């Protein structure tokens, strides 16, 4: 039975998994993300060797940024030194002699949810990945994933919510990801108190800290505003929210839906749901992508 390795390269960690053709994730390894390209490549090679039992047909890689999926080249990525312009597919294939396929991380999370997750029943949906930043994917069964003319399609984290607002890593001001993410919760709290806490630390203080409540209320309302815009632009059947921050959804999902229903002019019956796989979606999607590319190339 064929097996593939999936790799999900995030801002703080890299997940590695090996999967068989039935979709069983046989083994999973998580390592911290290094700060530069050379160390990341070394980590990838080390863990591929550990997972490779001699029966690996391909490797799928999920990573942030604008990804030329044909060349497997990272056109732009702001989170890793030396990542922009890097031919990841070609570089790895020269070193390991196994087919490598590279795609955007939010698209891979959406692929996992569409395949065996909470987007299975949707013919068209939006995927949001809330973590350190805000990733986005746009899926329609008639066209697949919307990559755009220069592979920048679906960069929903960089819709400008507040003109001249907070400075984003992309050098725009007021981007959605500066208001909707775990890091955005930290910014909300810091503006209220002057204290710099992580999103999870703020969540833990909700019962004893009024400013923690206010910071989360702002994030929830901003997310509702944002989803209202998503509804009016794309009219999807559903919005699926994943990423690390989605693990805290019990504290903000209901209020987000309530705000959305008040704000949106025609909310309809669009569903807002949390992804099934949370932080594992990227590696599952990368495995699935590797199998699909093998079928495409052999078909």
Question: Percent of the chain having pLDDT more than 90?
Answer: 76
Q: What's the mean per-residue pLDDT of the chain?
A: 93
Work out the number of other CB atoms within 10 angstroms of the CB of residue 118.
Answer: 21
Query: Residue range 241-267: average pLDDT?
Result: 95
Nearest 5°: phi and psi at 20? -95, 180
Instruction: Say if residue 33's pLDDT is above 90.
Output: no
Q: Do 248 and 288 belong together in one domain? A: no
Q: Do 122 and 255 belong together in one domain? A: yes
Instruction: Say if residue 36's pLDDT is above 90.
Output: no
In a domain, 154, yes or no: yes
10 Å CB burial of residue 267 (0-12, 13-18, 19+) is middle
Work out the number of other CB atoms within 10 angstroms of the CB of residue 135.
Answer: 28
In a domain, 29, yes or no: yes
In a domain, 113, yes or no: no
Q: Do 25 and 77 belong together in one domain? A: yes
d(C-alpha 163, C-alpha 125), whole Å: 27
Q: Do 93 and 122 belong together in one domain? A: no
Q: Could you tell me if 48 and 27 are in contact, meaning their C-beta atoms sit under 8 angstroms apart?
A: no
pLDDT tier for residue 63 given thresholds of 50, 70 and 90: very high
Q: Do 229 and 155 belong together in one domain? A: yes
In a domain, 152, yes or no: yes
Least confident of 131-135, 187-191, 282-286, 287-291: 131-135
Q: Do 265 and 284 belong together in one domain? A: no
pLDDT tier for residue 12 given thresholds of 50, 70 and 90: confident
Instruction: Say if residue 78's pLDDT is above 80.
Output: no
- Which one-letter DSSP state was computed for residue 34? P
Burial 57-82 (b: 16+ CB within 10 A, else e): bbbbbbbbbbbbbeebbbebbebbee
206-241: per-residue pLDDT in tens? 999 999 999 999 999 999 999 999 999 999 999 999
Q: Whole-prediction pTM value?
A: 0.91
Q: Do 137 and 68 belong together in one domain? A: no
Q: Do 201 and 234 belong together in one domain? A: yes
Query: Residue range 259-284: average pLDDT?
Result: 93
pLDDT at 133: 86
Q: Which residues are CB-contacts of 157 (< 8 A; sequence separation ≥ 6)?
A: 133, 134, 135, 136, 175, 176, 177, 180, 181
d(C-alpha 227, C-alpha 39), whole Å: 37
Least confident of 49-58, 161-170, 181-190: 49-58
In a domain, 111, yes or no: no
d(C-alpha 192, C-alpha 164), whole Å: 19
pLDDT at 288: 96
In a domain, 110, yes or no: no
In a domain, 112, yes or no: no
Q: Do 138 and 12 belong together in one domain? A: no
Give the helix/strand (H/E) hosting 42. helix 37-51
Q: How many domains does the chain contain in total?
A: 2
CATH of the domain at 51: 3.30.420.40
Least confident of 43-57, 59-73, 200-214: 43-57
Instruction: Say if residue 291's pLDDT is above 80.
Output: yes
Identify which has the larger pLDDT, 182 or 71.
Answer: 71
pLDDT tier for residue 53 given thresholds of 50, 70 and 90: confident
Instruction: Say if residue 178's pLDDT is above 80.
Output: yes
Q: Do 68 and 122 belong together in one domain? A: no
Domain limits for position 90: 3-104+279-297
Q: Do 141 and 244 belong together in one domain? A: yes
Q: Which residues are CB-contacts of 135 (< 8 A; sequence separation ≥ 6)?
A: 64, 104, 105, 106, 109, 127, 128, 129, 156, 157, 243
Instruction: Say if residue 185's pLDDT is above 90.
Output: yes
Q: Do 197 and 132 belong together in one domain? A: yes
pLDDT tier for residue 299 given thresholds of 50, 70 and 90: low
């Amino acid at each position: 039975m064929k097996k593939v390795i999936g790799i999900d390269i995030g801002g703080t960690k890299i997940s590695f998994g090996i999967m068989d053709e039935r979709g069983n994730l046989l083994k999973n390894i998580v390592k911290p993300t290094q700060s530069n390209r050379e160390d990341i490549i070394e980590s990838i090679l080390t863990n591929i060797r550990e997972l490779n039992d001699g029966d690996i047909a391909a490797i799928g890689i999920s990573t942030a940024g604008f990804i030329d999926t044909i060349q497997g080249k990272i056109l732009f990525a702001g989170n890793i030194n030396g990542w922009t312009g890097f031919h990841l597919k070609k570089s790895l294939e020269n070193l390991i002699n196994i087919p490598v396929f590279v795609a955007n991380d939010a698209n891979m999370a959406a692929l996992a949810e569409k395949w065996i997750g909470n987007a299975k029943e949707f013919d068209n949906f939006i995927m949001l990945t809330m973590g350190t930043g805000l990733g986005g994917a746009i899926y329609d069964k008639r066209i697949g994933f919307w990559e755009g003319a220069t592979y920048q399609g679906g960069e929903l984290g960089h819709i400008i919510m507040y003109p001249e607002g907070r400075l984003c890593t992309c050098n725009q001001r007021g981007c959605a990801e500066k208001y909707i993410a775990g890091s955005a919760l930290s910014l909300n709290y810091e503006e209220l108190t002057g204290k710099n806490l992580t999103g999870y630390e703020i969540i833990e203080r909700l019962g004893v800290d009024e400013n923690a409540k206010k910071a989360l209320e702002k994030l929830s309302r901003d997310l509702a505003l944002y989803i209202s815009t998503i509804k009016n632009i794309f009219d999807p059947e559903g919005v699926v929210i994943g990423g690390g921050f989605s693990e805290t959804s019990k504290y903000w999902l209901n209020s987000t839906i309530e705000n959305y229903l008040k704000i949106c002019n025609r909310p309809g019956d669009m569903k807002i749901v949390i992804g099934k796989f949370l932080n594992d979606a990227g590696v599952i999607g990368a495995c699935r992508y590797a199998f699909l590319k093998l079928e495409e190339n052999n078909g």
